[in-house]
Amino acid sequence: MVRLHEIYIILKPRGIPAVHTKFGRTGLHPDLVSGFITAISHFARQLRPGEQKDINLIKREDFVIIIEDGNKVFGALIADFDDKNAREILKQVINTFEDEFDKNLDDLGVNTLIFEKFIDVIHRKFSELVINPYYIPQIIQTVQNPPVDPLIKRVLPLVDGQKNLNEIAELLDTPIEGICQIIAQLENRGFIELKINIEDSDTFGVNDKATEVFSRETKSHKRILELFGNEGIDVLYSLDGKKDLKNIIDELGIPFNQLIKIIQYLLKEDIISWIELYPIMRQFSSEKILSIISDKKEQSLAFTLQNICDGTYSLSSISRKIDLPKGEIKRFLKKFGNDIRWIEKKV
């Protein structure tokens, strides 16, 4: 998944930004960026006046500017690399913007403040690329009222600083994409903040970007060695999508706090992703469960889990439902051996 930094929608006649918003903490001046891109585009047309195509990518070693041309505006998206999905969403954003503000775009004296409401649309459109379903939303105290929206009204009571977005989507029986759109809008308006909570029972797997890190001559590989030494590379090799962090601590003998620092870095750089586990438990007769489990408290837990573990609920959700740590549930389910199946979904 590509990491996005900033987006600009620039008015062609004036070469100034109609809309600008950030996805991260970058702090470039909008006029500087729009002026630079307009100048580069103008230079390219002067250099090859007969060429119909315009510049669609400006690339440096550590970032790119993805450019998409519209009829009256063009969009510029600053990202880590040229991503097909990000470019397609940028095209959609440009088309939507021109459809909504068509009459205003011919006015050379238009006040760009009228375009600010479009920032919500941008964050909703790009939400699937910038909001991780494992993020945990938390409400920030504010005097403003949240936007009026039926889904927001259902989501906000579940934002307790404990549930991640995946769990909220499950509880509402709503596609995660819709939840991410709502959360992106609320974060942009300052109603919530997003945090990451990593536990030793969490499981991670590598993304395509990890291929570059495994190559010893790459900048990414050298950066991990610089930050974490060989431990960083060892951890990456251990993240096979099956072992949880406790297993990796036991395997590598690495302190939990150090492991968390490495995991946070790998997540931030989109080198790894969470693996959410969905347990499926074979249906047993009461007699069978009683023959496997002798402790009465554990027998009760077994009956409870048999009703929940049908592949519908993630381990995180089950943990919340029955108020038991994920690691404890996993260890208990191992008692049933091959009668437990785990569906692994990359988040």
CATH number, residue 87: 3.30.450.70
260 & 218 share domain: yes
10 & 112 share domain: yes
Domain that residue 112 falls in: 4-118
Distance between CA atoms of residues 66 and 154, nearest Å: 36
Q: Is residue 124 part of a domain?
A: no
The mean pLDDT values, 10 residues at a time, for the chain of 347 residues are 81 84 66 72 66 72 84 88 87 94 83 88 84 85 77 91 88 87 84 85 88 87 93 94 91 93 88 90 87 88 90 85 86 89 84
Q: Is residue 123 part of a domain?
A: no
* pTM score: 0.59
Structure confidence at residue 49 (pLDDT): 64
User: Both tokens of residue 248?
Assistant: 């990796």
31 & 55 share domain: yes
266 & 281 share domain: no
Q: Is residue 75 part of a domain?
A: yes
**Which amino acid is located at 172 in the chain?**
L
338 & 286 share domain: yes
75 & 135 share domain: no
Q: Is residue 125 part of a domain?
A: no
- In eight-state DSSP terms, residue 68 is E
Structure confidence at residue 280 (pLDDT): 94
248 & 323 share domain: no
Distance between CA atoms of residues 184 and 293, nearest Å: 46
Pick from 120, 152, 148: which is nearest to 139 by CA? 152
22 & 96 share domain: yes
168 & 109 share domain: no
Cα-Cα-Cα-Cα torsion 302, 304, 310, 313, nearest 10 degrees, comes to -120
164 & 213 share domain: no
Tally of structural domains, the chain: 4
284 & 313 share domain: yes
User: Both tokens of residue 252?
Assistant: 């590598």
Distance between CA atoms of residues 33 and 35, nearest Å: 5
219 & 166 share domain: no
Pick from 203, 196, 279, 214: which is nearest to 247 by CA? 203
Structure confidence at residue 293 (pLDDT): 87
Name residues whose C-beta falls within 8 Å of residue 321's C-beta, 6 or more positions apart in sequence: 308, 313
Answer for the pair 116, 150: CB distance below 8 angstroms, yes or no. Answer: no
Q: Using the 3D structure, point to which of 157, 179, 195 is the last residue of a domain.
A: 195
Length of the chain as a residue count: 347
